Each structure stands twice: as C-alpha cells, then as structure tokens.
Chain A
Amino acid sequence: MTYNKAKRLLLAIISYALLVGLVLFTVLPLVWVVATSAKPSTEIFTIPPRMFTTQPTAGHYQHVLFHTDIPSYFVNSVMVGLLVTLLALVFGVSAGYGFARFRFKGNHTMSLFMLFSQMLPLTVIMIPVYLLLVRIGLLDSKLGLALSHLILALPVATWMSRSYFMSIPREIEEAALIDGCSYPGMLVRVVLPVAAPGIAATGIYAFIMSYNEFVLASVLTLTNRSRTLPIGLSEFSNNFYVDWGGVMAAAIIVSVPVILFFLFLQRYFVQGLSAGSVKG
C-alpha cells in the first residue's frame, strides 16, 4: 500500500514537472518579448544577455505609436477585418443555416466543398488572385484584400454557424411559426437572437483570420493605403532590425487584440478547431 502511494506521488511529481517544462517552453519566449519591449535600448545588447531590466521604459511603445506607420497599418487591418467579418457573416451564417436546417440534394457534398476549399495552399491562390485584382483595378485596395480573405473566413463562418444552428432545437422555430410568426419574422425574432453568441464568436474568428493573414496581404498590398499589420510589422522588423525594443513593442501591440479575444472566447476557439478551421 505505501509502495503504491509512493508510486503515485512520484507519478504526480513527474507529471507536474513535465507540464511546468511545457509551460516554460511555450511561455518563456513570450515573456522575453514583453521584457524586451520594456528594456532601455542601451541594455538590449549586453553580453551576456539578460532577460529583465531594472529600469523599465515605455519609450519603445511611444516610438511605435507616434513615430512609425504601425498605427496606420492597424487602421487598415481593422477596416479589412471588419469588411471580411461582415461579408463572412452575411454569406456564411446564411449558408450555415441552410446546411443545418434543410434537407436537399447535394447538402452534404456542398458543405464538404466549403470545408475543402479552405485547405488550398494560399500560395497557389495568390497568383490568380493577384492577376485578377490587377485586371479589375483592386490591387493595393482594402476591398480587394478583404474579398480575397473570404477564401479563409467564409468556410469557417459557414462551418461554425452550421454546427451552432444544429445545436439549437428545431422545435422553437416550429413553435414560433405555429404562434403565427411569419417565416422571415421567425428568423429575425427567434433564430438570430438565440444564435447571437455563436454568431458573434464566428465573426470574431473571421476577423482574427483576416487580421493575422500574411501571404495574400504581402502580395496584394503595396502601399500604406492598404498594407496590413502583419506585413507592416515584418517590414518594420527588417528595417529596424537593430531596434529590438521597438520591434517587440510593435509585436505586442499587434498581438494584444488577438490574445484578448482568445481569452474571452476560448470555448468557441476550441469549437472552431474541431470544425476543421485551417489557420493560414
């Protein structure tokens, strides 16, 4: 008996130690980013390098916010993201509802097509989309980028809302219809309010996919007119490679919205994962 207890204790200690190791592996690099962003420039390149400073500064953040193009990239990213969200929700929620509620020929095949289209490599789609946008004059525009981001966002929006609608019992719709509600009235007054949290999460997911996307944004945007944060940040880091503090402060400014959304909507993120959402 005591042998068993000792064995169990040992197992617990080893398990916790391994988990702590994994947490350090995932989190230490991120902690380093935060620490570096608050380090005075003179301290960043010391040998041996040190993780934390004794004199934290907000100077790098000030520099990024007031003396670089990062804020204008941020505005572009948010505008593109909102447009993607809007379009993905209008088209995706409608399609998701159709797939979840109605029986019709090809339902299964068509919903799988949506899932499939999301697995196409973006580098493959990049060339035709680039040439197309050049032809119709939408290269280097927020609208053009947003439309191309629908390739990522629309399938996810469809699949997430489809699984959400499937979890809402049909009976509440039938009850509303029996009570004399018209069909569109039932959709607006019954279905949408019930599905609202799921739709909101879907929208945020779509926003983040667009906000993080790199490949398409790097070829479809050329100037500050449409350039989004990932591209801006990457260029910033190439041009100011020696200014680690500034780059890390910018990296944090870029990441904070995504991480906040994630913390609040973790449950839906995990759902989105199993709905087969492919991260660009």
Chain B
Amino acid sequence: MEKRMLLDREARRGYAFVAPGLLMMALLVIYPIFSVIQLSFSGSTTGADFVGFDNYLRVVQNPNFFRIMRNTAIWTVGNVAGAFMLGTGAALLLNQSFILAKSAWRTVIMLSWITPNVVQGIMWRCLYSSDFGMVNQLLQSLGLIKAPLPWLSSLQLTLPAVMLVQVWQTIPFVMTMMYAGAQSIPRDLYEVANLEGANAWARLRHITLPLLKDVCFICLLMLIIWSLNGFTLIWVMTQGGPAGSTEILALSIYEKFRSFNFNGAAATSVLQLLVSLLFAVLYIRRSGREED
C-alpha cells in the first residue's frame, strides 16, 4: 500500500511537470495538422465547404507538378549524398591520430553551418554573380572555364549550384556527428586489430564503419528531413527560378500561399507532410530504440 502510494505520487509529479509544455506543443502541432487537412478538402479559408479531393486533383494535374516532384527528388538525393560523403570523409580525416589541433579544425569548419541561412543565401547569390562573382573569377583563373557561367540564371546549372550551397552548409553537421561517434569507439579495439596485423583499411572497414552505423542512420535521416523541409536557401537565392527550375515542394506551397490560394497550398502541404512523416517516423523509431 505504502509503495503504491509512492508510485502514484511520482507519476502525479511527473505529469504535473510535463503537462504545460506538452499541452502547448499539442496545441502548436496537432491543431495546425488538423486544420491544414481540413483546409485541403475545403473551398474556403474557414474550412467550411467540403469539396472532396478537388484541391488535390488540381495540384496533381498541374503541368508543373511533375517538375516540382522531380526537383524535390534531385534536390534531396543530391544534397544528402554530397553532404554525407564529404562530411564523413572529413570526420575520418580528422579522426586520424596524427592530426593536431582537432577541435580548432572542427570549430573553423563549423562556421559555415552556424551562419544564418539568410546570410548564406545572400552571400552565395553574390558569389555566383556572373559578372563580378568570385566563383567565376576563381574558375577562370584556374583555367577550368573559359567564359563566365550564368550560375543562377540557367535552367541546367541553377539547381546544382544551389545544391552545392546546401551541401556546403551541412557538411559540418555530418562531420561533427560522425567525428563524435568515431571518438567514442574504444581505443583498445584498434590496438587489438593492430596486434592482429590489420591494416588501416581493414580497421576502417571492420571497426570504425560498423560501429558508426547508428550515427550514419541518424545523419542520413536528418539530412533527408532538412532537404525536404529546406526553403530559406532556395528562396533567398532564386525564389524557385529561373522558370521553376529550382522549385521544390516547400516552395510551391509558399507560392500558392502568396497568391492567396490557401486551399491549394493546404493540399500541397498535406502531400509534403506525408513525405516528411515517413522519414520522421523512421527517425523516431530509431531514437526510441536507443532510449530503451
């Protein structure tokens, strides 16, 4: 009896501490989701008139829809692959025992991640300028290109150019996570491997990489979610242009919103929500397992 009372008191206290924040969050998250779904099936901003799947049909049948989905896919896959490979490479380089001043390297590299998104966008827009930009200047002086390239006004070049900036800003995240993971691997494992005559490649292949599996998973999912949700960088640099060549799902919601097509924007939002949820659920399931 005594013990039961104690448990109940513990639970009561727990709920009391958690409740305000949780209610706040529920209000901020569950209400918008519910509301956006309602709007997506409605013909007005009050969510009153039910129109079935009309808004969805209009979104999907729009001739631009395929291009937007393709851009979203290219943007996401390219960003994730680029940032993951370069970031992991950087972490493994930094993890080598002979590298001095490790935290200094890390701090300096982190600067590109820490700079506000808007600043990153504005800065790269100028760097990519075809006449006075440093990118063209650098490539020309290295002899890699003959004439200045129109980085942000070309149907082919602009998406990759913006992707490079997204990769540029997320490399430090991957590097930091992977480096922290690699540092937490016990040294003894490597010593044993050395005694057994394993070379550097074998140590990487059989110790470092397998033990970094969980961190890799987290990094990849975060990169995917960031890319899918990514907005600011593209908006500041190109506003989705030229001719929609950098328009991804998140930008098309914003465009519809700006032209007061709230219901179309809501239907597009639900599509984006479904895509993001898929990866968020994967992430949560993995985090949940780690916690247990």
Contact = CB atoms under 8 A, between A and B. Distances in A.
Interface in A109-134: 110-117, 119-132
Interface string B82-113: 00001001100110101100000101111110
A270 B176 contact: yes
Given A49-B137, A98-B18, A278-B226, A124 B253 contact: yes
Contact of A104 (B11, B99, B140, B176): B11
A102 B11 contact: yes
B35 A131 contact: yes
Interface stretch (B185-193, B204-212, B279-287): B279-287
Nearest to B256: A127
Given A22-B90, A26-B108, A112-B287, A91 B262 contact: no
From DSSP, what is the main secondary structure of chain A's interface residues? helix
Contacts of A158: 21
B132 A47 contact: yes
A105 B11 CA distance: 8
Contacts of A114: 21-22, 25
Contact of A23 (B20, B22, B105, B235): B105
Contacts of B222: 276, 278
Interface stretch (A27-35, A59-67, A195-203): A27-35
A114 B124 CA distance: 34
B280 A119 contact: yes
B64 interface: no
From DSSP, what is the main secondary structure of chain B's interface residues? helix
A156 to B, nearest CB: 11
A266 B114 CA distance: 10
Nearest to B13: A102
Given A120-B276, A124-B269, A15 B99 contact: yes
A226 interface: no
A104 B14 contact: yes
B116 A150 contact: no
Contacts, number: 283
B240 interface: no
B21 A95 contact: yes
Nearest to A105: B11
Interface in A21-49: 22-23, 25-27, 29-30, 32-33, 36, 44-49
Given A244-B126, A254-B119, A266-B107, A95 B22 contact: yes
Nearest to A50: B137
Contacts of B288: 108, 112
Interface stretch (A78-86, A137-145, A229-237): A229-237
Contact of A127 (B22, B29, B172, B266): B266
Nearest to A126: B257
Interface residues of A, number: 96
Interface in B263-292: 265-266, 269-270, 272-273, 276, 279-281, 283-284, 287-288, 291-292
Contacts of A211: 116
B229 to A, nearest CB: 4
A255 B284 contact: no
A188 interface: no
Nearest to B47: A131
Contacts of B28: 117, 125, 147-148, 150-151, 154
Given A19-B105, A154-B24, A230 B272 contact: no
Nearest to A35: B134
B152 interface: no
Contacts of B125: 237
A22 B250 contact: no
B273 A124 contact: yes
Interface string A203-230: 0000000011011000100000000001
A237 B214 CA distance: 41
A117 B209 CA distance: 31
A26 B111 contact: yes
Contacts of A16: 99
A273 interface: yes
A230 B18 CA distance: 33
Sorted nearest first, the 8 A-B pairs with minimum C-beta distance are A98-B17, A102-B14, A95-B21, A128-B35, A98-B18, A104-B11, A91-B21, A104-B14
Given A127-B32, A237-B236, 5 more contacts: A110-B22, A211-B116, A214-B117, A254-B119, A273-B173
12 contacts: A27-B111, A29-B127, A32-B134, A33-B123, A44-B132, A51-B134, A97-B17, A105-B11, A120-B33, A123-B250, A124-B32, A251-B123
